[in-house]
């Protein structure tokens, strides 16, 4: 009994130390829209230690949306997210370590959630059906498509073999491109996930080549990571960068702003070493996208004379059109382009 209690206390102490270090992580800001893609290897790979660590990481990074892969225990994920103020989770299926979203309900309005390519003809390309999240953030609509492609292979695309891993990923890329081109041509689309292949293969064996070549409509936001030092890659166990973020041309301008960025988030730097992260949380690092929003001209009602201005509309913090009301922050948008933040206290 004494040995058991000693072991239990040691586990609690280790978990506390891990949580303290992970709480120093940061990523999200009030002026940017953040999407983080993260394969949490068969969550939870180390039980409650993993669950506690994931909770701290989500809270500390403070991203608006997390697109997750390899969620094995959806019940536990729900429990974890329910203890994080302001966050909710969604998943359509837990088939074969499924996909899930965690999002900040204070900043994001969810408009639709669904899967695509769900029928049998597409199962070869998509072992897990892509999961779509349509949302509004600061009066702007976005579409996020979360994926987990087939793993492994020999690096050679064999188009005559339908079981070839590279060919299956190539087919998945082609189908996703067709879907976006035909149904989401004018939307702000972000494709994320563990895509299980590298961006830097030679064109003859690059499963992403059709997207890379279509520079007018798509760009891999994380291409610089893929072309950079392996210290910053998302899959250090077999040094490679497998987790990607693709954006459509409607987001090129936002991505080019000075406060926009993409990063492989090195959570292991906040733990004792890489193996502490790999053994307790995941073998993949998260990859995060941060998009700078258009700046608002905020003026105080005390400082600004609005009598001669023409009011266009009133929106809440999620960008939803609303009416004037009391005891909550609202944005009054005028014809001359100014925006007034106002709280009427009852």
Q: How many CB atoms lie within 10 A of CB 72?
A: 16
pTM: 0.83
**What's the pLDDT score for residue 294?**
81
Helix (H) or strand (E) holding 189: strand 189-194
At 71, give phi and psi (nearest 5°).
Answer: -90, 105
318 is written with which tokens? 């999620």
Question: pLDDT tens digits, the chain, 346 residues: what are they?
Answer: 545 444 444 444 444 546 669 999 999 999 999 999 999 999 999 999 999 999 999 999 999 999 999 999 999 999 999 999 999 999 886 555 599 999 999 999 999 999 999 999 999 999 999 999 999 999 999 999 999 999 999 999 999 999 999 999 999 999 999 999 999 999 999 999 999 999 999 999 999 999 999 999 999 999 999 999 999 999 999 999 999 999 999 999 999 999 999 999 999 999 999 999 999 999 999 999 999 998 643 333 333 455 678 898 888 766 678 888 765 677 788 888 777 777 664 4
Contact 162, 121 (CB under 8 A): no
Inter-CA distances, 190 with 90, 131, 139, 222, 319, Å: 17, 12, 17, 12, 20
SS3 state at 149: coil
pLDDT digits (tens, 9 = 90+) for 131-140: 999 999 999 9
Alpha-carbon distance of 297 to 128, in angstroms, equals 44
H or E stretch including 112? strand 108-115
pLDDT score, position 18: 61
For the chain, domains (ranges, CATH) are 2-292 (3.60.10.10), 298-342 (no CATH)
Q: How many CB atoms lie within 10 A of CB 128?
A: 24
Share of the chain above pLDDT 70, in %: 86
């Amino acid at each position: 009994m004494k040995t058991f209690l000693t072991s239990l206390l040691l586990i609690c102490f280790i978990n506390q130390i891990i949580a303290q270090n992970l709480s120093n992580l940061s990523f999200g800001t009030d002026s940017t829209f953040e999407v983080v893609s993260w394969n949490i290897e068969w969550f939870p790979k180390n039980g409650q230690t993993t669950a506690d660590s994931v909770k701290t990481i989500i809270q500390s990074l403070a991203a608006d949306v997390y697109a997750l892969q390899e969620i094995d225990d959806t019940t536990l994920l729900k429990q974890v997210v329910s203890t994080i103020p302001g966050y909710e989770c969604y998943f359509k299926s837990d088939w074969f370590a499924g996909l899930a979203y965690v999002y900040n309900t204070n900043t994001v309005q969810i408009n639709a959630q669904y899967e695509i390519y769900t029928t049998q003809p597409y199962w070869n390309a998509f072992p897990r059906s892509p999961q779509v999240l349509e949302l509004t953030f600061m009066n702007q609509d976005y579409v996020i498509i979360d994926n987990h492609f087939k793993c492994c292979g020999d690096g050679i695309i064999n188009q005559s073999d339908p079981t070839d891993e590279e060919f299956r990923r190539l087919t998945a890329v082609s189908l996703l491109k067709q879907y976006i081109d035909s149904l989401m041509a004018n939307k702000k689309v972000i494709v994320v996930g563990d895509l299980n292949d590298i961006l830097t293969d030679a064109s003859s064996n690059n499963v992403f080549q059709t997207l890379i070549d279509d520079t007018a409509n798509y760009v891999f936001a994380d291409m610089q990571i893929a072309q950079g030092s392996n210290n910053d890659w998302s899959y250090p166990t077999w040094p490679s960068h497998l987790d990607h973020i693709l954006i459509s041309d409607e987001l090129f301008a936002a991505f080019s702003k000075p406060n926009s960025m993409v990063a492989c988030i090195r959570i292991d730097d906040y733990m004792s070493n890489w193996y502490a992260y790999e053994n307790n949380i995941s073998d993949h690092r998260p990859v995060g996208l941060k998009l700078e929003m258009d700046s608002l001209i905020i003026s105080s009602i005390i400082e600004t004379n609005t009598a001669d201005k023409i009011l266009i509309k009133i929106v809440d913090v999620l960008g939803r059109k609303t009416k004037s009301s009391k005891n909550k922050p609202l944005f009054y948008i005028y014809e001359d382009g100014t925006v007034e933040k106002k709280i009427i206290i009852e």
